Amino acid sequence: MAKRLQVILQDPEYREVQRAAKSRHMTIAEWVRQALEFARRREPVGSVSKKLDAIRAAAEHSYPTADIDTMLSEIEAGYSGQQP
């Protein structure tokens, strides 16, 4: 179900949004929808404390690792299908 959102802008703000939409050959509504979608994607998902708990739990384990140059050469070899 779609919902209507009303936003009050001062004239200079409105003209700036209007100019931005026009320069992209979009309606103001579409420009605003895209701007809101972009802003939503940049918002962190989940609580900071939950993320930190997951990092702390992962840090308690011992995972296999190697020298960074060795890892990078193995990755590149994998891309090309060659043995490192």
29 within 8 A of 22, measured Cβ to Cβ = no
Percentage of the chain exceeding pLDDT 90: 67
In whole angstroms, give the CA distance from residue 77 to residue 67: 15
Confidence (pLDDT) at 18: 98
pTM of the predicted structure, to 2 decimals: 0.55
Confidence (pLDDT) at 83: 66
What Å distances lie between residue 82 and 59, 69, 77, 78, 79, CA to CA? Answer: 32, 16, 5, 6, 8
Output the CA torsion sign for 21, 22, 28, 34: negative
Counting DSSP H helices and E strands in the chain, the numbers are 4, 0
Mean pLDDT of 20-45: 94
